[in-house]
Homo-oligomer: A and B are copies of this chain.
Amino acid sequence: MTSEIICVGTELLTGDTVNTNASYVSKRLMELGAGPVWQSVVGDNRERLTEAVGTALRRSDVIILTGGLGPTEDDLTKETAASLLRLPLYEDKASMDAIASFFAATGREMPEINRKQALIPLGAVVLENDIGTAPGVLFDFPLLRDQGRFYSRYRAVYMALLPGPPREMARMLDEKLMPYLRERVKGTALVSHYLTVFGTGESRAASLVGELQEGANPTVSPYVKNGSVRFRVTASAATEKAAEALTAPVLEEMKKRLGDSVVGVDIVSIADVAVNLLKKYNATVALAESCTGGLIAKKITDISGASDVFHMGAVTYVNEIKEMLLSVSHETLEAHGAVSKETAAEMARGAALKADADYALSVTGLAGPSGGTEETPVGTVFIGVHSKKSGTAVLKKRFGHGKADEREFIRELAAETALFELVKLIRKENNV
């Protein structure tokens, strides 16, 4: 079975609202084994909505619409669908009562325009809205045909109209629509895993994975983001267990080919992998950040329970503070400058000593756009990695392409690289 998502609302078209409903609905449809092959956005416009719904009815099995169920004149989804399917609207008593009590509960009088929300196409299934006024509507076409209400030759089997506000939509989808569909749509179990590699370009990673990307089941597709390449490995089978069994050997082979650039499978973030490794080995890390300016600390403390492994971060944005907080020597700063191998090494060592930490990361570099020189262009970053066991190492990197708007990108890559260096070091020291 194939599915299609149509999100209705002019605010989505104009870009004022990022469409989060589409990806939420997508994931549920994937779980159902009826992955979406079309997704579109239509404004509050009867003609275009009619075209979009008509096209969907002809080409998709399961159709989910979100938005356009509100009380105003602009809200057209239900009216347009009913008119296209030639089903009359009636005022549904249960829905009317639910709307009235929704207003009663908040002590407000129901505005007359909200009556419109209780209109339901004849023969459609009502999806109750537990946290808003707009009921949803499900057209169960086999059921409609059994009732003698519907004779078209559309391909569609189910079409649901859900409200636009994300919370109301998600709740109705999860609690009302999905249970209904799960009983009736017998899809194939789909299982996806994500293998993340870092520090290897997409082309190189893809060429290492090679012919595995040409398989039909599981399929293997790369996605690139900020220096990471994430491979999605998706298998379909009659049962979840059988689908898992198809992905496992492919993931193993990929790990073998990609070697130590593999961050992990189904990871949340590199910081999360680092924090979990530190927890596992009962170790702590201290941070000394210059150009990343707190970004690594932020990434680590994004994780609940980070305080077990992270006690101190120093953001040292000028030389005096590097000397004061991290005991970087005045001579080193004078002789080599703040953006240097030597300073990075002393920052990492200093942070580890100060916090009595097992590991420390330091970053000093030029995130730009200003401050670059011929010798040290914008994007030059020194990353220090210190461990009680292995001492201090410094990595010199050049991020970005010397363009003016790469500050965020350079900082992000520097932070992710530093965290992944920590991951690799802990793994190496513990032979995992």
Q: Which A residues contact B (CB, under 8 angstroms)?
A: 10-20, 22-27, 30, 35-45, 48, 70-74, 105-106, 108, 111, 113-114, 130-131, 165, 167, 171, 192, 201-204, 206-207, 213-214, 221-225, 232, 287, 289, 291-298, 300-302, 304-307, 310-318, 320-321, 324-325, 354-355, 367-370, 401, 403, 405-409, 411
* A302 nearest in chain B by CB position: B408
- Cross-chain contact B37 with A39 (CB below 8 angstroms): no
- Cross-chain contact A293 with B300 (CB below 8 angstroms): yes
- Cross-chain contact B370 with A74 (CB below 8 angstroms): no
* Identical subunits present: 2
Instruction: Choose one: B37, B315, B405, B407; the contact of A297 (CB below 8 Å).
Output: B315
**A106–B224 CA distance with the chains assembled, in angstroms:** 17
- Cross-chain contact A232 with B295 (CB below 8 angstroms): no
- Cross-chain contact A72 with B315 (CB below 8 angstroms): no
Give min CB distance, A36 to chain B, whole Å: 5
**A296–B293 CA distance with the chains assembled, in angstroms:** 9
- CB neighbours (8 Å) of A407 from chain B are 302, 304
* A203 nearest in chain B by CB position: B111
Instruction: Choose one: B111, B295, B310; the contact of A317 (CB below 8 Å).
Output: B310
Residue among A71, A114, A304, A307 with max Cβ neighbours from chain B (10 Å): A304
Give min CB distance, A213 to chain B, whole Å: 7
Known: A22-B15, A39-B13. A294 touches B315 (CB 8 A): yes
Residue among A42, A213, A302 with max Cβ neighbours from chain B (10 Å): A302
Known: A37-B43, A38-B40, A38-B48. A19 touches B16 (CB 8 A): no
**A73–B350 CA distance with the chains assembled, in angstroms:** 49
Give min CB distance, A127 to chain B, whole Å: 16
- CB neighbours (8 Å) of A367 from chain B are 304
**A314–B298 CA distance with the chains assembled, in angstroms:** 12
A-B contact pairs, 24 of them (CB 8 A): A11-B232, A12-B23, A13-B38, A16-B232, A18-B18, A18-B20, A18-B23, A38-B42, A71-B203, A71-B206, A72-B213, A73-B213, A131-B401, A287-B315, A293-B298, A293-B310, A294-B300, A294-B301, A297-B297, A297-B315, A312-B315, A312-B317, A312-B318, A312-B321
- Cross-chain contact A318 with B314 (CB below 8 angstroms): no
- Cross-chain contact A223 with B17 (CB below 8 angstroms): yes
- Cross-chain contact B315 with A203 (CB below 8 angstroms): no
- CB neighbours (8 Å) of A113 from chain B are 203, 206-207
Known: A40-B40, A317-B307. A19 touches B14 (CB 8 A): no
- CB neighbours (8 Å) of A38 from chain B are 13, 40-42, 48
Give min CB distance, A338 to chain B, whole Å: 10
- CB neighbours (8 Å) of A12 from chain B are 23, 39
Known: A48-B37, A354-B324, A370-B305. A315 touches B314 (CB 8 A): yes
Closest 8 CB pairs of A and B: A293-B301, A294-B297, A15-B26, A313-B315, A294-B294, A15-B23, A40-B40, A39-B41
**A317–B39 CA distance with the chains assembled, in angstroms:** 44
* A324 nearest in chain B by CB position: B354
**A408–B167 CA distance with the chains assembled, in angstroms:** 11
Instruction: Choose one: B13, B35, B307, B311; the contact of A13 (CB below 8 Å).
Output: B35
- Cross-chain contact B317 with A293 (CB below 8 angstroms): no
- CB neighbours (8 Å) of A42 from chain B are 37-38
Known: A37-B13, A203-B111, A224-B165. A294 touches B298 (CB 8 A): yes
- Cross-chain contact A201 with B108 (CB below 8 angstroms): yes
Give min CB distance, A393 to chain B, whole Å: 21
- Cross-chain contact B74 with A221 (CB below 8 angstroms): yes
* A400 nearest in chain B by CB position: B131
* A12 nearest in chain B by CB position: B39
**A36–B48 CA distance with the chains assembled, in angstroms:** 12
- CB neighbours (8 Å) of A289 from chain B are 294, 297
Instruction: Choose one: B25, B221, B409; the contact of A15 (CB below 8 Å).
Output: B25
- CB neighbours (8 Å) of A406 from chain B are 131
Instruction: Choose one: B223, B297, B370; the contact of A293 (CB below 8 Å).
Output: B297
